[in-house]
Structure 1
Amino acid sequence: MSIFCIISLMVLFQLVIPFITNYDHEHLNVISTIEYITRTFTHQRQRTLTFSANAENKTALSIFGDMVDRVLKRIDFAKVQIDQNNCEMIGLREFNILLVDSFKAFEHIDPANKTKSYDFNEYYLIFLKAENSKQELLKILDYCWKHYIINVIVIVEQSSEVLNFYTYFPFSKLKCRNTEPVLINQFKNGVPTNVYGTNHIFPNKLENLQGCLLIAALWNVPPYLRIVPNRTGLDQFVGIEGNMLKAIAKTLNFSLGYITPPNDEERGIIFPNGTTSGATKLIEERKADLSFGCFRYSMARAKVMSAASPYYQTWVVSVVLKSPFKYTPIEILVFPFTSSTWISLLAFFGVIISFRLLAIYYHKVLGPLLVKITVSQLVSNFLGGPMANLPKGNFIRCMLMLWVIFAFIIRSAYQSLLFTLLQHSLYKKPPKTLKELVDLDYTFVLNKSTFYFVKDMLEIEQAQYIFPESPLTFIEHNSGKFAAIMPQDFVRYFVMTYSKRETFHILSDKVVALYNTMYFSKHSYLIDRFRGILKYVGSSGLINVWYSQNMHTSYFDAVKYDKEALKLNNLKGAFDVYLVLLLVAFVVFLVELLSKRVMWLKKLFK
């Protein structure tokens, strides 16, 4: 009996040991390959590693579980998560390893549903162990493109030693949005052979879009974007962001079509019930790939769309008319002196007039002193006129000299201050803050999109507001206390387009910052590529160049006068001419003196 048992065990070992050896040899290659890719890719980028496994065949599922266990024993350099059914994962699924035996098993995992809210492109390494691997591979790649999973590698066993790496390139010279599997690499015994000329585990598929078409949700929003109807291609897009679009399209080599949001909804609104409108709805429904045009970054929009990095900042400002703050003619005349100065001058002239009246009534006492100097002569002299009748008394002449000096000082101060006002500004200081506008009972004029943006501000809630089609046109043509609230660039463009220099005043107190960005469908395959380009655009200063090509900010700059104060060196010619004239006058004076003694000179002057 014991001999029979021993013989039976020997036969069993002969049957089982080759199976175990073959199993280890067959899957050791897969395990080594996964370890290699994980070590070289995940470790360099410090990404979280997520394992998922599913199979229709129970034997395959058992094998996958054993493979995951063996791989985990080799990985000690990354944060690892195990995706299990009915268990919610806290960490991000940045780098995902999936082990499946069919498309149904892959679809049951449904990775797209777990990352649909992501604003970046995660990575997938899928090991497919299936009998009809080609058909299953096609279905998996179609699923990936449908759900914007672009960084994907599917591993298929060619033999126990060779693993084939497949992916798809959606933009090729022959076809756009193509999901045909492409063999890009082979691993032999866990080491890449690089027989297909690539050293990248996940090749860049958006380096060149091969002229394929992208759809954008666009509308006219000058100066950022204007759509010229009689042009074609990228030439029909002009403006600050229109120029940016051309540069990006040239870099990535894509063509662009556009959809205009219906009913003039433009950017659209996110309603409390979660529904959307305008460009936001087109993006959310994936009818458009991207949208931009003074599109402000906000947390509410970022929940339904993926936003690129903000590449331009402007401000929402308050604008008032300058005309209500313009000095009247009377105010201009009295501007140089303060009220106390004017009162002092009037009191001084009152004393002079009173003294003159006393001189008339007491002619015998004061008359001889002032009889030849009238009040009108004093006023004329004060304003710079000549003195017709000079008094003979030394005391009166001394007092008159003091009067002339006093009048010269007052007159010079008045003229210089008045000249400064006329040269620089004829307007009073307008309000500086929103709070001052509210205190002055101003009504705010703005469009509805700006209102939804700033409605939570305390100053706006305390004031009245109206929504005309053009806020600046409204406050210009309607009398009353109105203040427009709108982005600063729109104000500058309006002033530049309609030549409204010196018409509006922008308050120095800014309402709120406005960060322009570009929006994509949630989890869009374009987001990472465009985000990198737009970061470069924002940091390189290119957006400022395009801004200067479309906008002239000088309309709000203070008027500059190049006339510098004259220096003595500038007056040298006048001094020279004056000296020559003095010399000529002196010579003439000498000749007149000589003419009294020289007869022929006397006859000459006669």
Structure 2
Amino acid sequence: MRHVVLLLLTLPLLLRKVELSFDHHHQRSLSFAERFFPLAISAVLKRHFNHSHEALLINWASNGSASSRQQQQQDLLNDVIRWTNAELVVRFFHPRADVVRARFYNLLVVDGYSSFRKIYETMDYKTYDSSGFYLIVITGEIYEDLNELLRWMFEDLWILDIFNVNVLVVASDGSILVYTFFPYREFHCETVKPLLWLNFTGTIDMDDIDLYPNRLRSFHGCPLKGGTFEAKPYTIIPKRGNASELVVSGFEGDLIDLLKQRLNFTVHYQIAPNGSQWGFAREKGNSTGLMKLIQEELVDFGVGCLAFTYDRHVYLKPGIAHYTSLVLFAVSAGRPFTAFEKLFCPFSPTVWYLTVVYLAIGTVVIFGLQFTSLRVRNFVYGSEQTAAYLNLLQIFFGGGIGRTPGRNFARTLLLLWVIFCFVIRTLYQGSLYLYLQRSMSHAPLETMDDIHRSGIPYYMLEIGERYFNTMPHILERTTLVPPGKDSLGKTIERLGRGTIDGAVLIPLDQAAYHNKIYPKREFVNVAKERVAVYPVGFYYPKKSGLTAVFDEQIRNIQSTGLIDFWVRRYGD
């Protein structure tokens, strides 16, 4: 009985000792994870987020208002910054801070899906670069199913086209797990599936680990949506016939074909609606044409002689300029000479001037002699010459006179005039015979001043008027080319055939393409003065993540000279 009483008295002490031992062991495990977690985070940051000219943006949020969770996140961030050894430039997120440009390197610290949504609702393309690097750290105890939590987070990020993201979380055994997702995989296009990427079990060596590979190195045959329209020779859309898929050629179409091969994707093209071609980039909901397709994310990229402009940069995301052309006026090869104009071609203006001077001198002398005596008149052009002026004109045009003068002086004057007229008339008739057989045209207009003085009308698309906002005298004489399938190319055809006489505002390559495919008699000339430099490239939706990978490939293609080769192939 005494042993039973003693056991009852000591049992609470024994249970307390076991509980303390368990708590001590649990606390020791948590302490190990707490020491290891910031070290793993700092290792990832130093390996992938270290850039001398780009700051690391840190943003954090916790569920509810529990001070312990907030304190835990702050302690973690303090340890992370300490372990980075001042190797990183760090900036903490502030909702009212002025954003100069979207942040590329981002660290997000959350303790669940609700806290993640707090940060997510502040994310847009102005603050966060969709092609940037993202590291999400989950702290504290996770109450949701981990796979579901990761899937929700990744799906939300993919809506913003954010895919270079890794999630670090502490497992129940104290190891550090790294999860990610790949939006394009074989037989899985634009799908979000969490993938265990790495397991830190005790050592951290990031030298041979790349947590941020190029996830878009290959699209694994997945389709992308491209917006375009026909703008020869940039994009040429042949008649499809029985083909179900739209085929685009032209030198920008050839560029896309090569990108398809290198990045292993296919393209489903969508044409700008209602023949609206480029359209205008405005506030969302007010854009038109191809700009509307890109801005509203109905396509993944747009191509088709897209020049870089301020409005497009504001509402769309530009790639690099893969080609630079010139905007200038195309004019006809020169108006053909009329038959009457050809009569003046044999002689230069100087010869015509001197001939008129000689006729004027003869006329003045003859009419001046009418006021002198008969004796003087008989001495100059002979006696019984009652129609001296008519004789002058008859000899000039190759006729004869009824009576020759009898005096030597008058005969000498007559002989000199006959010889002069014979030489001039013979040279004129011989040259005129040759000129009448030639196809002759006036020299084409070469400068904008020449075009303006000629009085011919201007033809241009509505988007071309921006070049002449300060030149109302040009806009007053401008006829707008209506949008439609290759409407500008058809206007050039009419100019070359002489159906219209005017100056058409076009890119230089369009004139070169026209002169390559049409006969010489329908060639058009371009003015020597350029209106503007015309860099062209791809445009993407504002939050697109394709820009970086496309730009990298385009730079490589540019360095080979292929784009210049394609341009020459489509132009004269």
The TM-score by the shorter chain falls in which range?
Answer: 0.7 to 0.9
Count matched residues. Answer: 507
Aligned match of 1:562: none
Counterpart selection for 1:115 from 100, 104, 125: 125
Match status 1:512 vs 2:532: yes
Mean CA deviation greater in 156-165 or 477-486: 477-486
Residues 229 and 271, structure 2, Cα contact 8 Å, conserved in 1: yes
Aligned match of 1:400: none
Residues 55 and 102, structure 1, Cα contact 8 Å, conserved in 2: yes
What do residues 326-375 of structure 1 show as CA deviations (whole Å, max 9, x unaligned)? 48312321237455555577789999x999967953556897x999x896
Aligned match of 1:53: 60
Aligned match of 1:147: 160
Secondary structure of 1:191's partner?
coil
Aligned match of 1:599: none
Structure with higher helix content: 1
Change in CA separation of 1:461 and 1:73 when aligned onto 2, cut-off 3 Å? farther
- TM normalised by structure 2 equals 0.76
Change in CA separation of 1:185 and 1:419 when aligned onto 2, cut-off 3 Å? farther
Match status 1:249 vs 2:260: yes
Structure 2 distance, partners of 1:517, 1:103, is 39
Match status 1:25 vs 2:35: no
Within 5 Å, which residues of 2 pair with 1:28-427? 28-44=35-51, 46-56=53-63, 58=66, 59-75=68-84, 76-84=86-94, 92-110=102-120, 113-116=123-126, 121-129=131-139, 130-131=142-143, 132-158=145-171, 162-189=175-202, 191-192=204-205, 199-228=209-238, 229-230=240-241, 236-271=247-282, 275-324=286-335, 326=337, 328-335=341-348, 337=350, 339-342=352-355, 361-363=405-407, 426-427=441-442
Aligned match of 1:545: 565
Q: Structure 1: where are the runs of 5+ without partners?
A: 1-10, 385-410, 554-606
Secondary structure of 1:516's partner?
strand
Secondary structure of 1:113's partner?
coil
Residues 333 and 444, structure 2, Cα contact 8 Å, conserved in 1: no
Residues 446 and 526, structure 2, Cα contact 8 Å, conserved in 1: no
Aligned match of 2:476: 463
Residues 30 and 174, structure 2, Cα contact 8 Å, conserved in 1: no
Aligned match of 2:388: none
Within 5 Å, which residues of 2 pair with 1:424-439? 426-428=441-443, 430-433=445-448, 435-439=449-453
Seq. identity, %: 18
Q: Which amino acid aligns with 2:108?
A: L
Q: Which amino acid aligns with 1:276?
A: S
Structure 1 distance, partners of 2:272, 2:38, is 51
Residues 155 and 192, structure 2, Cα contact 8 Å, conserved in 1: yes
Q: Which amino acid aligns with 2:519?
A: S
Secondary structure of 1:227's partner?
coil
Change in CA separation of 1:441 and 1:165 when aligned onto 2, cut-off 3 Å? same
Aligned match of 1:6: none
Structure 2 distance, partners of 1:456, 1:239, is 31
Residues 126 and 152, structure 1, Cα contact 8 Å, conserved in 2: yes
Structure 1 distance, partners of 2:556, 2:146, is 42
Residues 225 and 241, structure 1, Cα contact 8 Å, conserved in 2: yes
What do residues 219-270 of structure 1 show as CA deviations (whole Å, max 9, x unaligned)? 2222111223147598822111111111110110101111122211222223
Within 5 Å, which residues of 2 pair with 1:516-527? 516-527=536-547
Q: Structure 2: where are the runs of 5+ without partners?
A: 1-16, 367-376, 384-403, 483-489
- Cα deviation, residue 294, structure 1: 0.7
- Cα deviation, residue 105, structure 1: 1.0
- Cα deviation, residue 526, structure 1: 0.7
Residues 119 and 524, structure 1, Cα contact 8 Å, conserved in 2: no
- TM normalised by structure 1 equals 0.72
